[in-house]
Amino acid sequence: MSGKVARVHPDRIISQLAGRRYGVLARAQLLGYGLTTHQIEHRLDTGRLVAAHRGVYFAGGSVVTLEGRWLAAVLACGPGAALSHLDAAALWELLPRGRGPVHVTVRNGRGGRNGITIHRAPLSAEVTERKGIPVTTPPRTLLDLSPSLPRRKLERAIDEATYLHFLPAGALATTLERNAGRTGVRQLRAVLATHAAGTTRTKSHLEELFLALCRRHRLPQPLVNARVEGLEVDFLWPAERLIVETDGFAAHGRRVAFERDHDRDLRLESADYAVRRFTYRQITGHGAAVAAVVRRALG
């Protein structure tokens, strides 16, 4: 044996590491795998590495995904940093992500970064990993969002977290106790005092509009997407045995859907439920009339 150790080419190291983490590479990571400062700078000059943030790169030619942007932002903020706020909610699939900088929470230090909004706060045991990205836990994410989200949007995030089984029993209470005195605790407690988690999870914009109509006209809050006679219905008042279905054209505008809907209605009415159907146009343009019909049906 010659005793010589075969050296792996720097580009091969970059390719292997990039394939593991959305094309994202940290300078410290590359140095740890044996690349020199000169080799890193040369690849930045030639486009084989592309700067994302200071000390964080994308592999040249890689497709920059949202997950890649998230991971790059977290790595740029140093050890212990975690994706948080609206970006954490999007990663957990609780809310859609809007535009704007990536939100990252850090325990201490580190100044601002281009394209990153940094929050400084203790994280204790409220950081985990999802899809390889350090992120605040769902309960902590809801707490972080509670001061800035409109109440209904916060309710929807809580409903989605409940539906996805991200809120085991006592998880929110533990997080609130651990963070007593922090901004957002009072707001989240107020929502939880009147909102039963998981009861108003809507599946469409039209369902959300109808639920808003009920609140605006002070109708009793229905159950949302409940099951009756083996069928899922949009809205249910169980004591009054009233069902409301909201009909968007995309789902109900074809003959086969029309027949299916009337078969459902016949089955439900045979079981002594009253069924009322409202279209998008009626809900958005004649809300008071819709509310009056529902109120009369509720008796």
205-297: CATH architecture: 3-Layer(aba) Sandwich (3.40)
Q: Pull the structure tokens for residue 82.
A: 């975690």
Per-residue pLDDT, averaged over 246-258, amounts to 66
pLDDT in tens, 100-113: 999 999 987 555 57
pLDDT band for position 1 (50/70/90)?
very low
**pLDDT for the residue 199:** 87
Which of 191, 196, 237 shows the shortest CA–CA distance to 214? Answer: 237
For residues 161 and 167, what is the distance between their CA atoms, to the nearest angstrom?
6
**pLDDT for the residue 271:** 96
| 9-64 fold | Arc Repressor Mutant, subunit A (1.10.10)
CA distances from residue 289 to 57, 235, 236, 285, 286 in whole angstroms, order as listed: 58, 18, 19, 9, 5
Comma-separated ranges of CATH 1.10.10 domains in the chain: 9-64
Comma-separated ranges of CATH 3.40.960.10 domains in the chain: 205-297
Q: Which amino acid is at 79?
A: P
pLDDT in tens, 107-165: 875 555 788 999 999 887 899 999 999 999 999 999 999 999 999 999 999 999 999 99
Task: Report pTM.
Answer: 0.82
Inter-residue long-range contacts of 60-63, CB under 8 Å, 24+ positions, other chains counted: 62/18, 62/22, 62/23, 63/23
